Structure 1
Amino acid sequence: MTHDLQLIVLDMAGTTVADGGLVEQAFTAAARHLGEDPAGMIDHVRATMGESKISVFRHLFGDEARAQEANRAFEAAYAELLDGGSVTALPGARETIEELQRQGRTVVLTTGFARPTQDAILAALGWQDLVPLTLCPADAGGRGRPYPDMVLTAFLRTRKADSVDRIAVVGDTSYDMLSGVRAGAGLVAGVLTGAHDEEALRAAGASHVLENVAQLPGVLR
């Protein structure tokens, strides 16, 4: 039953946060930093939204050293773009998180970005103290989505859910859905405010597809 869900694992960019296309802009800067043409790679970047960024760079740039260099360039470019004020909370996102917590549920925010970028986004939004735990891939041993590691790390660290089937995982990409399914979450919900459409979300295992995250508290009541 949805009202029995105790732990809510929410994605950030595309689900609770709008960044105005900064991921693609930062990726373009990173590719050019490595002397690569980003035009032939951007489709892969769009298709893998939600996946750990270092995993994307390993696929695109091959060896580990170039992938790490690309990741550093990406994070630096994203941080610089953040200073322009492009990051905002999606409509109703903060209110949703607060309502879920009033319902007695624990909320954890997750991302495919590295910790410095996640912290910069949280600071830009004034969300540093909004939830008890935020996670990036490094916090879960280095494996981001589509692996279940961040979801299971949230489960283990918060100790707020009796079993994995009392977890809800919510995100805007097929990678979010896969991570929830693989973690055994009791509810895996996609939102249509980000990278992937309903067909992709359903194909990856979404049990619910919502127009936006603001609909989530009503689903869980």
Structure 2
Amino acid sequence: MIRVLLADDEALVRAGVRAILDTDPGIEVVAEAGDGHEAVALARAHRPDVVLLDIRMPRQDGLAAARELRRTLPGVAVVVLTTFDEDEYVAAALDDGADGFLLKASDPRELLIGVRAVAEGGAYLSPRIARRVVADLRGGRAGRRARERVAALTPRERDVLALVGEGRSNQEVARRLNLAEGTVKAHVSAILNTLDVANRVQAAILAHEAGLTG
């Protein structure tokens, strides 16, 4: 069972998101919060697998909550779920260590796919956001810098990174490369350390920049 904490300052939005999540028997909403401060406190109390955060909330916004969750509860996956798709919000969320970025206007199935992806150790960006991020990253000198950083990885680590770039979970990577899941976890940890990135989303972006993904 995937345990989810939902944080949004609008009760009607929380009800709608919860209704979507409740359609999946493998997902359980364990708590709801109306602001970032409450979300962090409830996450500490309930230890969910995934926290869904709106960006604009009173007292503490979703980006500040994401930073605090990443620092104090690193094992919890954080997904930003918002109306706003401006580049500055996407960049800030990824810099703050979010494992996913979803738009409220997306197909409801994307919400379920995204929650499952991050709960299984993967990363997920709304396709609309992913297309724009990849297009931006492929412009300019980002690709060359990424290739230089990726060159420090072993061949097997580059194979793993390529699949992480596709949003694959550890289980999927293990199956594709015929490795034990524990071995994949060790490779992912080494990749994050070598590339000096906070999480799988940032590693996935580097994989795209370096041209490791199709």
Q: Could you state the TM-score of these two structures normalised by the residue count of structure 1?
A: 0.31
Q: Which has the higher contact order (CA 8 A, sep 6+)?
A: 1
Q: Could you state the TM-score of these two structures normalised by the residue count of structure 2?
A: 0.32
